[in-house]
């Protein structure tokens, strides 16, 4: 599908780049998982190796690449390609090919929406390709030090030096590249304590990172600062930013709009209230789960509710 968009010359150049990339030291490392790598990351990397990209052109030259971890936004132009998130490292060949089809410009900037591996595992190769990595200061701290996601029973070693953000901010940052203004804004702890949104001002596109899943029950990483009240506040802010014409890129799931964001916010508020009341009555997590506090939303948001209920229970 992508190949039809490429000239023969560009395709050959891309193929050569992909072949060379697989010979890089970190490619070998990912192919032979270290015992220190948690199982959840190993599974993600294995899936990333063969995953097929879902490529969707939006507007203002912004494209979203989906299917290899968190949703990746790409803005190509005279200043080089700007990426929002990097997905799984093992998806480097697919991402390299897809981005070559967009333009021949190099990757120059990468913005991380938060620290989680499905959004940052590709940081090292993207940096090696020429990108400066930008993130919230908490994201740099998390990636630089050992971390644990309790809900996944997963312990993560520090990321390689090349994967660490070198430009960080505390609250807000404006980036002007490729004729576009990107407004980066830190959320109070929500999905994690490292979350930022990226708003493409001229194109009216909002990348929310994992504060919005569409239409899916979210994971809330309470072990690194996340909590349900923060998620609700983050989505209230997202709704304030978005207009009816705003294109919204969630951390996971389909590209959405304000109406879908409002549905997600309603679900968060309702489930939070139900779980909090049951917990206040002294019910255990098993009892709360058995009460099916998400039942009214399961048809829309899927059956992956048990983990979400547990995350809410832990943080109310």
Mean pLDDT of 145-163: 97
pLDDT reported for residue 15: 35
Residue in 227, 186, 235, 228 with CA at minimum distance from that of residue 211: 235
pTM greater than 0.85 (yes/no)? yes
pLDDT tens, position by position, 66-90 = 999 999 999 999 999 999 999 999 9
21 pLDDT higher than 50 = no
pLDDT band at 113 (very low <50, low <70, confident <90, very high): very high
pLDDT tens, position by position, 259-307 = 999 999 999 999 999 999 999 999 999 999 999 999 999 999 997 899 9
pLDDT band at 245 (very low <50, low <70, confident <90, very high): very high
Cis peptide before 155 (omega within 30 of 0): no
Q: Name the CATH superfamily for 3-315.
A: Ribonuclease Z/Hydroxyacylglutathione hydrolase-like (3.60.15.10)
pLDDT tens, position by position, 26-46 = 333 333 344 468 999 999 999
Give, for 263, the enclosing helix (H) or strand (E).
helix 258-280
* CA 86/CA 65 separation, integer angstroms: 10
Q: Where are the domains of the chain?
A: 3-315
* CA 164/CA 70 separation, integer angstroms: 18
8 A C-beta contact, residue 183 and residue 172: yes
Mean pLDDT of 198-205: 98
191 pLDDT higher than 60 = yes
* CA 121/CA 115 separation, integer angstroms: 9
pLDDT reported for residue 24: 36
Mean pLDDT of 152-165: 97
**What is residue 264's three-state secondary structure?**
helix
């Amino acid at each position: 599908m992508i190949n039809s968009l490429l000239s023969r010359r560009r395709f050959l150049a891309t193929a050569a780049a992909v072949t060379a990339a697989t010979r890089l030291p970190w490619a070998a490392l990912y192919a032979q998982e270290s015992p220190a790598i948690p199982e959840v990351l190993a599974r993600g990397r294995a899936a990333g190796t063969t995953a097929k990209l879902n490529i969707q052109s939006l507007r203002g030259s912004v494209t979203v690449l989906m299917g290899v971890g968190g949703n990746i936004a790409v803005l190509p132009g005279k200043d080089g390609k700007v990426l929002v998130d990097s997905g799984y490292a093992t998806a480097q060949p697919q991402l390299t090919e897809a981005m070559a089809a967009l333009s021949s410009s190099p990757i120059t900037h990468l913005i991380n929406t938060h620290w989680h591996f499905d959004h940052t595992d590709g940081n090292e190769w993207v940096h090696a390709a020429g990108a400066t990595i930008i993130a919230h200061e908490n994201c740099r701290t998390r990636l630089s030090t050992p971390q644990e996601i309790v809900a996944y029973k997963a312990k993560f070693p520090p990321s390689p030096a090349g994967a660490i953000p070198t430009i960080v901010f505390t609250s807000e940052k404006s980036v002007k590249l490729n004729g576009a203004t990107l407004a980066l804004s830190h959320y109070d702890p929500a999905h994690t304590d490292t979350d930022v949104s990226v708003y493409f001002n001229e194109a009216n596109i909002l990348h929310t990172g994992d504060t919005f899943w569409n239409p899916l029950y979210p994971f809330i990483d309470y072990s690194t600062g996340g909590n349900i009240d923060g998620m609700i506040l983050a989505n209230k802010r997202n709704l304030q930013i978005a207009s009816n014409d705003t294109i919204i890129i969630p951390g996971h799931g389909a590209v959405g709009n304000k109406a879908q964001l409002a549905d997600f916010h309603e679900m968060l508020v309702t489930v939070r209230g139900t779980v909090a009341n049951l917990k206040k009555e002294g019910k255990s997590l098993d009892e709360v789960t058995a009460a099916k506090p998400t039942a009214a939303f399961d048809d829309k948001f899927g059956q992956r509710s048990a983990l979400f209920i547990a995350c809410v229970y832990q943080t109310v």
